Structure 1
Amino acid sequence: MADKIKFAVAVLLVIAGLAGFYLLGNAALVLRVLSVIAGVVAGAAIGWTTEPGQRFAGFARDAIAEARKVVWPNRKETLQTTAAVFAFVVVMAIVLFVIDKSVETLVYNVILGWKS
């Protein structure tokens, strides 16, 4: 039950920060943005103390650890893969153009008899 109350307070703090942005419409933009940032930070701080917040923190730590294990391609591999994708796109565009023009010719000239 305490987690639900903490979560509700966290949501209310974020809403209060957003409301402050609009209520301070005549104030400087920096003050309005700080209002939003303060609401989000306060809401996150309270949400962090809940059990779902702790689970999310563990998930985030695990996700960062898994991202560090990824073997990223080097520049040469990236350029080769990009070139292959562009070549495939060009070839498919040509193939689709030929198919489209063939079907157009078949329908308009042969079936309907509309010579263009």
Structure 2
Amino acid sequence: MADKIKFALALLLVAAGVAAFYLLSETAMVLRVLAVVAGVLAGGAVAWFTEPGRQFAEFSADSVAEAKKVVWPSRKETIQTTGIVFAFVVVMALFLWLADKTLEWGLYDLILGWKRS
């Protein structure tokens, strides 16, 4: 129950920051943006101390650790793969254009007899 109250308080702090943005419409934009940032940071700080907040922090740390384990392709491999994809796209575009023109010729010229001038 305490986590729900903390989470509700965090949402209220974020909402207060957004409300301050609109209530301070006569002041400088920097102050209005700082009010939103302060509300979000305060809400995040309160949410951090809830059980879902701790689980999110643990999940984030695990995600960063997994991302560090990934073997990313080298620049050469990336350029080669990109070249293969572009070549495939060009070949597929030519094939589809040829198929379209063949069907157009067969349907309009041969079957319907609509010769274009």
Q: Hey, what's the Cα distance between the residues in 1 that align with 2:15 and 2:111?
A: 64
Q: Hey, what's the Cα distance between the residues in 2 that align with 1:88 and 1:72?
A: 23
Q: Hey, what's the Cα distance between the residues in 2 that align with 1:112 and 1:15?
A: 66
Instruction: Provide, for residues 8-53 of structure 1, a one-character-per-residue CA deviation record: whole Å limited to 9, x for no partner.
Output: 1111111111111122122111101101100110010000100011
Q: What secondary structure is seen at the aligned counterpart in 1 of 2:21?
A: helix
Question: Runs in 1 of length 4+ with deviation above 6 angstroms?
Answer: none
Partner of 1:84: 84
Q: Hey, what's the Cα distance between the residues in 1 that align with 2:75 and 2:82?
A: 10
Paired residue total: 116
Partner of 1:113: 113
- Could you tell me how far 1:115 is from its partner in structure 2? 1.2
Structure 2 gap segments, 5+ residues each: none
Q: Hey, what's the Cα distance between the residues in 2 that align with 1:22 and 1:6?
A: 25
Q: Hey, what's the Cα distance between the residues in 2 that align with 1:22 and 1:81?
A: 49
Q: What secondary structure is seen at the aligned counterpart in 1 of 2:85?
A: helix
- Could you tell me how far 1:112 is from its partner in structure 2? 2.3
Q: Hey, what's the Cα distance between the residues in 1 that align with 2:33 and 2:88?
A: 46
Partner of 2:52: 52
Partner of 1:68: 68
Q: 1:32 is aligned with what amino acid?
A: R
Across the aligned residues of Structure 1 and Structure 2, the Cα RMSD in angstroms comes to 1.0
Partner of 1:20: 20
Identity value in percent: 65
TM-score (norm 2): 0.94
